[in-house]
Amino acid sequence: MSGLRLNMGREKSEMRVIIDKQAGFCPGVKQAIKTAEQRLNEGKKITALGSLIHNDREIGRLQEKGLHTVSQSLADDDEALKSLAGQEVLVRTHGIGAKVFERLHKSGIITLDGTCPTVKRVQKKVAEHHQRGEQIVIVGKKGHAEVIGLLGYCDGQGIVVEDSHDLGKIDASRPTLVVAQTTVGKGIFQALSEQVAARVIQAKIVDTTCRFISRRYEQIREFAASVDVLIFIGGRESSNSKVLFEICRAENARSYKIESAREIDPAWFEQASAVGITGGASTPVWQFEQVQQHILSLPR
């Protein structure tokens, strides 16, 4: 997507408004959205187990097409699950535990698995090592949907390490598998996994950070440095968006995070010749284009 130019008058130079070519859905989110849209376009009634992605505006667009969303906690209530019997339930990209899948199937629910392929590989790895009797350590955010799902492949016995304060929970005498929540920064994973390895008798460290996300860190850093003002579009609940925005702000002090064009302040663009628009892995291209047009329509 090429940058558009806004003529700011005879006494002012043109301002370019550029959409980051690397921005948009990650492959996992793209596939989950595609699955939902295909079924909805076929007239099927689809229910998402938990918010499909952390982007309220994209969820709103899918709801207009007929997508229904229920809390993931519903999967723990056998009586509540009966209300979904015979329906198609879409599992979000973060994935769910093995026992949750079993409960859905036993309830007569048709499961559409939207789990990110990268997350599924981590789930498999966790299950294999847990069955061998090894200790499972997950470097990630406590309470994050993906982490909760991963814990579901080691009977909830895994240890989540968010920072060095959590290292004391680890049994140093047990062989240990160390994996990452896929959206954790590679640097954070490397630092914490090395600390785990230094504490236990035997550690197998598997870097399960998402390569797509890791590449995005460097891409978005370069993009933020290339413009005068950066507009970052992302959901407030998205961990990925929070990390990416902090990278942008560290590189470019004139970085602003929004969820919609309504939040934009025209004063942000004073004396700017190049404005960049980017976002998280759950931000669709249509939102970038909408914000671009909004900025171009602002009075100068």
| pLDDT tens, residue by residue, 241-283 | 888 999 999 999 999 999 999 999 999 999 999 999 999 998 9
pLDDT computed for residue 53 by the predictor:
86
Distance of CA 272 to the CA centre of its chain: 30
Instruction: Supply the pTM of this predicted model.
Output: 0.84
Write the pLDDT tens digit of every residue in 82-117: 888 888 999 999 999 999 999 999 999 999 999 999
pLDDT computed for residue 11 by the predictor:
42
Instruction: State the DSSP H helix or E strand holding residue 90, giving kind and residue range, or none if neither.
Output: strand 88-91
d(Cα 211, Cα 92) in Å, to the nearest integer? 20
> Fold identical between 4-25+212-297 and 118-209?
yes
146 is a catalytic site residue: yes
pLDDT computed for residue 247 by the predictor:
95
d(Cα 20, Cα 253) in Å, to the nearest integer? 18
- Burial code of 125-153, b = ≥16 C-beta within 10 A, e = fewer? bbbebbeeebbbbbbbeeebbbbbbbbbb
Instruction: State the DSSP H helix or E strand holding residue 189, giving kind and residue range, or none if neither.
Output: helix 186-197
| 171, 198 contact by CB (below 8 A) | no
pLDDT computed for residue 9 by the predictor:
43
Q: Which residues, given as ranges, of the chain have pLDDT below 50? A: 1-2, 8-12
pLDDT computed for residue 236 by the predictor:
84
d(Cα 13, Cα 69) in Å, to the nearest integer? 47
Number of helices (H), then strands (E), in the chain: 10, 13
Q: Residue 110 contacts by C-beta under 8 Å, 6 or more apart in sequence?
A: 86, 87, 88, 89
The neighbouring-strand residues paired with 247 are: none
d(Cα 299, Cα 269) in Å, to the nearest integer? 11
d(Cα 224, Cα 255) in Å, to the nearest integer? 8
Q: Which CATH architecture has domain 27-115?
A: 3-Layer(aba) Sandwich (3.40)
Single out the catalytic residue among 58, 134, 146, 259: 146
pLDDT computed for residue 40 by the predictor:
94
Q: Looking at domain 118-209, does it have CATH number 3.30.1360.20?
A: no
pLDDT computed for residue 5 by the predictor:
54
Distance of CA 101 to the CA centre of its chain: 21
Nearest CA among 277, 276, 272 for reference residue 300 = 272
The full set of domain ranges for the chain reads 4-25+212-297, 27-115, 118-209
Nearest CA among 144, 125, 121, 149 for reference residue 204 = 125
Give me the half-sphere count of Cα atoms (radius 13 Å) on the Cβ side of residue 219: 16
d(Cα 148, Cα 153) in Å, to the nearest integer? 9
Q: Look at the chain and count its residues.
A: 300
| 49, 75 contact by CB (below 8 A) | yes
pLDDT computed for residue 246 by the predictor:
95
Give the CATH number of domain 4-25+212-297.
3.40.1010.20
